Amino acid sequence: MYRYDEFDAAFVRQRTEQFSHQVKRRLSGELTEDQFRPLRLMNGLYLQLHAYMLRVAVPYGTLNSKQMRKLAHIARTYDRGYGHFTTRQNIQYNWPKLKDVPAILEELASVEMHAIQTSGNCIRNVTTDQFAGAAADEIIDPRPVAEIIRQWSSLHPEFSYLPRKFKIAITGAPQDRAAVKFHDIGLMATQNDAGDIGWRVFVGGGLGRTPMVAKEISDFVAHEYLLPYLEAILRVYNMYGRRDNKYKARIKILVHETGIETIREQVEAEFAEIKDGVLKLPQGELTRITEYFAAPSFEEQEQTKIDIAQFQVTDSAYARFLQNNLHPHSEEGYVSLTISLKPIGGAPGDATDKQMDAVADLAEQYSFDELRVSHEQNLVLPHVAMKDVRAIYDVLVAEGLETGNAGLISDMIACPGLDYCALANARSIPVAQAISEKFANREDEFGELKLKISGCINACGHHHVGHIGILGVEKKGTELYQITLGGDATEDATIGKILGRGVTPEEVPGALEKLLDRYIAERQSPKESFLEAYRRLGDAPFKEALYG
Amino acid sequence: MNAITANELISGAVVYLYENGDFGVDLQLAKLFGADEQDVQEAMLEKTLANPRLVSVEAISVEVSETGTVWANRLREQIRANGPTVGGFERQTLEGADHVSL
Ligand code: HEM
Ligand code: SF4
């Protein structure tokens, strides 16, 4: 894992001290709220409905056990004994008090973590595949490049006041698990004809009120030119992105209004100027950073297969866990193991301090001290020997973390919604819980299904790209939920289509049941997933099922 | 009818302006402004806005039931007044924050 160098450490310490002074000045009345708000937001501190919310970055979703224990400690000491893992591979605390925030930031700094650039019109936390550095299908581990992007984008003086927030996602595998085409910039590893590995660059993707699939701006950028290329994109955006209207300020609108060809010309022109300047990355530097992410010392494993069938009768919950929560690893005898934060009827993404501690212990004991946070709001032990899976499972059972539902309907993404969020129009969590309970006994039958729920059009819960998406709106003072179908966050990126008029909160589970029953009735075989069936059939049968 | 609400600076807790000029967490004790009290409401709102200990200041629409219970009209405000509807979490208290009044 990357370790802070002296520059990083000094900078985070300095920033923590600075914020601590700013809080003091705010508390003494020296700073007004108008002056203080941008300062606290720059440090990840929001005000929600009931209290402040602190958003802590987990760079490219990677944590070690010491950091996870610190997150647990903060939850226990300064919050209410839990934290919320988000689709942005961050963790959010929902109840910190302003006077405690400087102390929390100090605690975080002691384990090389912070909340900087988790808000505001800057380049946000870089996100990636939760199986990065472990997945069998990976072309290259994206984390060294993600780390380089983190260093480049942290406090970048030119890009601290962009027209709007800017999100970059990166994947090293052809199977996109990081939704790169729904980010301002998406990077996807590729190999050119000469056999060199580099990056396909996508630009102008996003969700929110105008969802867009990113367009390819370059089919190959070599590692050494990646930063100048990104810098060129950011410069073009900084120059031409709209600042007159917040709703039109994201780069997706610029790309849409200007056209990808023109943007490409502008970027290429800028790139030509700076290509061989200071941002060109010497191979030595890439190698140096890559060494931090060297594969752990895997051992040769006797056990190279897990026979799921033998547990199907004796221990069906375990069989289900094996079936759904293990992901193929590049190393023989190893797997990546998903720890679901979606117990049936729970709040998606929440983990208690005790659970975080237990997961930290597991990472230390069984996964070379490595942990990941997934954009699907789960935790991952990336490098687990097959022989250890049972022992891990037993600990998960003791901690209430054993739900074997990864990739199924109850493994949904849901934003905090109106129970917490000041921008919300409707609640997300109770809807998520009702759906999870309703289908608890049927979800295996439905197979792979991505359900995503947002409490307003900002789309933090990715509803546009759910196979089934649910968007909460407010109509005449009450909550109403719009259902979209056919969204897909992977390399086949698709934005879902609204099916028809919205339904009340109570009607949501029943509405989904009608849609899913229709899917079961229409599918060609159990192998045809909901999304495939929808793509084949279009929305007519589903409309009929729901609205008659 | 309207009430005046805000979040207290130090705790972040949801508070309401009471009859006596104090701010506290109980909507039932909130000072209510009738349709004919627009001027008083505006003056109080202005004073609240000027108080550095209060953020996200707003006038919200409420109703009083037959039994005398004060109800916020929007769901958002009901949730602010009662806490999250899931998870069994109590609302934030003013603990750690000093007394705050107009
Ligand atoms: C205080 C709570 C939050 C606030 C104020 C907030 C605000 C926003 C806003 C205003 C947007 C729309 C941006 C645009 O279209 O230009 C947005 C998008 C988004 N937010 Fe949040 N959000 C909050 C919580 C969260 C949480 C909990 C998550 C993760 C679960 C999250 C992840 C995202 C994502 C993934 C998007 C859409 C991607 C995009 O930027 O296009 N946000 N958020
Ligand atoms: S989608 Fe809306 S309700 Fe949900 S967290 Fe984002 S801003 Fe809040």
Locus of tokens 């402004």: B33
Backbone angles phi, psi at A485, to 5 degrees: -125, 150
**What does each C-alpha distance from A154 to A91, A149, A160 come to in angstroms?**
19, 8, 9
Phi and psi at residue B50, in whole multiples of 5°?
Answer: -80, -10
Q: For ligand 2, pick from A49, A167, A458 the residue to mutate: most ligand atoms within 8 Å of CB.
A: A458
pLDDT band, residue A538 (cuts 50/70/90): very high
ipTM: 0.95
Cα of first residue to Cα of last residue in chain B, in angstroms, is 20
pLDDT tier, B56 (very low <50, low <70, confident <90, very high otherwise):
very high
Report if residue B72 sits inside a domain: yes
Contact A479 B86 (CB under 8 A): no
Nearest-CA distance from B87 to chain A in Å? 8
The closest ligand to the CA of A55 turns out to be 1
What integer pLDDT is reported at residue B95 of this predicted model?
Answer: 87
Rounded Cα distance, B84 and B91, in Å: 8
Looking at chain B, how many residues does it have?
102
Give the per-residue pLDDT at B3: 98
- Mutation to test the A interface, candidates B79, B80, B94, B98, most A Cβ within 10 Å: B79
Chain A interface test: which of B53, B92, B95 (most A C-beta within 10 Å): B92
Q: Which of A15-29, A42-56, A145-159, B66-80 has the lowest mean pLDDT?
A: A145-159
Query: What one-letter code names the amino acid at B91?
Result: R
Classify residue B42: in a domain, yes or no.
yes
| Average pLDDT of chain A, as a whole number | 95
Tell me whether residue B27 is in a domain: yes
Closest ligand 1 atom, residue A164 Cα? 16
| Candidate from A29, A47, A52 with C-beta closest to B52 | A29
Instruction: Please write down the long-range contacts of A36-43, taking CB distance under 8 Å and 24 or more positions apart.
Output: A38/A120, A40/A101, A41/A119, A41/A120, A42/A116, A42/A117, A42/A119, A42/A120, A43/A15, A43/A19, A43/A101, A43/A105, A43/A115, A43/A116
Give the pLDDT confidence of A498-527 residue by residue, as tens digits: 999 999 999 999 999 999 999 999 999 999
Which chain B residues in 27-46 lie under 8 Å from chain A, judged by CB atoms?
A: none
Is the CB of A456 within 6 Å of ligand 2? yes
Note whether residue B63 is domain-resident.
Answer: yes
Closest partner residue to B12 (CB to CB) among A27, A52, A477 is A52
The first and second tokens of residue A448, run together, are 């792979």
List the alpha helices (DSSP H) in A241-378. 251-258, 260-274, 283-292, 309-314, 316-325, 353-366
Residue of A34, A49, A431 to mutate, interface with B, max B Cβ within 10 Å: A49
Q: Assign A59 a pLDDT band (cuts: 50, 70, 90).
A: confident
β-bridge partners, B6: B15
Percent of chain A with pLDDT over 70: 100
Atom of ligand 2 nearest to the CA of A422: 8
The reported pLDDT for the residue numbered B54 is 96
Residues of A in contact with B11 (CB under 8 A): 51, 97-98
What is the average pLDDT across A367-390?
Answer: 97
From the CB of A459, is ligand 1 less than 6 Å away?
Answer: yes
The answer to the question of residue B94 being in a domain is: no
pLDDT for residue A115 is more than 90: no
The answer to whether residue B88 neighbours chain A at the CB level (below 8 Å) is: no
pLDDT surpassing 90 at residue A116: no
Rounded mean pLDDT of B11-34? 96
Kindly indicate the confidence band of residue A540, based on its pLDDT and cuts at 50, 70 and 90: very high
Instruction: Provide the pLDDT confidence category of residue B71 given band limits of 50, 70 and 90.
Output: very high
Would strands A451-454 and A413-414 be described as parallel, antiparallel, or unpaired?
A: parallel
Task: Please list every residue in chain A whose beta carbon sits closer than 8 Å to the beta carbon of residue B80.
Answer: 49-50
Mean pLDDT, rounded, for B13-32: 96
Is residue B21 in some structural domain?
yes
Ligand 1 pocket, A48 CB below 6 A? yes
pLDDT of A117 above 80: no
SS3 state at B70? strand
3-state secondary structure string across A348-382: CCEEEHHHHHHHHHHHHHHCCCEEEECCCCCEEEE
Nearest to A470 by CA among A419, A531, A512, A532: A512
Smallest CA-to-CA distance from B36 within B68, B2, B64 is with: B2
Distance from C-alpha of A73 to C-alpha of A91, rounded to nearest angstrom: 13
Q: What are phi and psi of A76, to 5 degrees?
A: -75, -40
Q: Measure the CA–CA gap between A45 and A324, rounded to whole angstroms.
A: 36
Q: Give the pLDDT confidence score for residue A401 in this predicted structure.
A: 98
Q: Tell me: pLDDT of A200 over 80.
A: yes
Tell me how far CA of residue A9 lies from CA of A13, A59, A108, A127, A268, in angstroms. Answer: 6, 15, 11, 21, 35
Rg of chain B in Å (alpha carbons): 13
B95 in any annotated domain: no
- The pLDDT tens digits for A336-376 are 999 999 999 999 999 999 999 999 999 999 999 999 999 99
Query: Please, how many CA atoms are within 13 Å of residue B83, restricted to the half-sphere of its CB?
Result: 12
Cβ of residue B73 closer than 8 Å to a chain A Cβ: yes
pLDDT value at position A36?
96
Cβ within 8 Å, pair A418-B79: yes
Residues A481 and A454 sit within 8 Å (Cβ to Cβ) = no
Q: Are B13 and B94 in contact (CB under 8 A)?
A: yes
pTM assigned to the model: 0.94
**Phi, psi at residue A64, to the nearest 5°?**
-110, 180
Mutate to test the pocket of ligand 2, among A46, A84, A90, A460 (most ligand atoms within 8 A of CB): A460
Task: Give, using CA atoms, the residue closest to atom 36 of ligand 1.
Answer: A460
In angstroms, what is the span from residue A428 Cα to ligand 2's centroid?
9
Q: How many CB pairs under 8 A join A and B?
A: 76
Are the C-beta atoms of residues B24 and B15 closer than 8 Å to each other?
A: yes
Asked if residue A416 has its Cβ within 6 Å of ligand 1, the reply is: yes
Say if residue B99's pLDDT is above 90. no
* Per-residue pLDDT at B102 exceeds 90: no
CB-neighbour burial class of residue A21 (10 A; exposed 0-12, middle 13-18, buried 19+): exposed
Residues present in chain A in total:
548
| Minimal-distance CA residue of chain B relative to A418 | B76
Provide the 10 A C-beta neighbour count for residue A476.
5
- CA A453 to centroid of ligand 2, rounded, Å: 10
Give the burial string for A346-361 (b: 16+ CB within 10 Å, else e): bbbbbbbbebbbbbbe
- Binding site membership of A167 for ligand 1 (Cβ less than 6 Å): yes
In a domain, B97, yes or no: no
Q: Which amino acid is at A50?
A: H
Segment A465-469 shows an average pLDDT of: 98
Domains in chain A (CATH in brackets) are 6-109 (3.90.480.20), 142-291 (3.30.413.10), 311-399 (3.90.480.20), 413-547 (3.30.413.10)
Higher pLDDT, B100 or A481: A481
pLDDT digits (tens, 9 = 90+) for A271-298: 999 999 999 998 888 899 999 899 999 9
- What total of structural domains would you count in chain B? 1
Mean pLDDT across A421-441 = 97
The single residue listed with the structure tokens 């290429």 is: A268
The residue with tokens 């998870």 is B87
Q: How far apart are CA A191 and CA A494, in angstroms?
A: 24
Rounded average pLDDT over A38-44: 90
Distance CA A432, CA A451 (A): 9
**Residue A129 clears pLDDT 80, i.e. is over it:** yes
Rounded to a whole number of angstroms, the distance from the CA of B89 to the nearest CA of chain A is 9
C-beta atoms of B96 and A97 within 8 A: yes
Q: Do A50 and B80 touch (CB under 8 A)?
A: yes
| Angle between helix A353-366 and helix A389-399 axes, rounded to 10 deg | 170
Question: Cβ of A422 and B12 within 8 Å?
Answer: no
Q: How confident is the model at residue A157 (pLDDT cuts 50, 70, 90)?
A: confident
pLDDT (0 to 100) of residue A208: 95
Q: In which domain, by residue range, is B63 found?
A: 2-82
| Pairing assessment for the beta strands A185-191 and A168-171 based on DSSP bridges | parallel
For the stretch A65-112, pLDDT in tens is: 999 999 999 999 999 999 999 988 899 999 999 999 999 999 999 998
Q: Do B9 and A49 touch (CB under 8 A)?
A: no
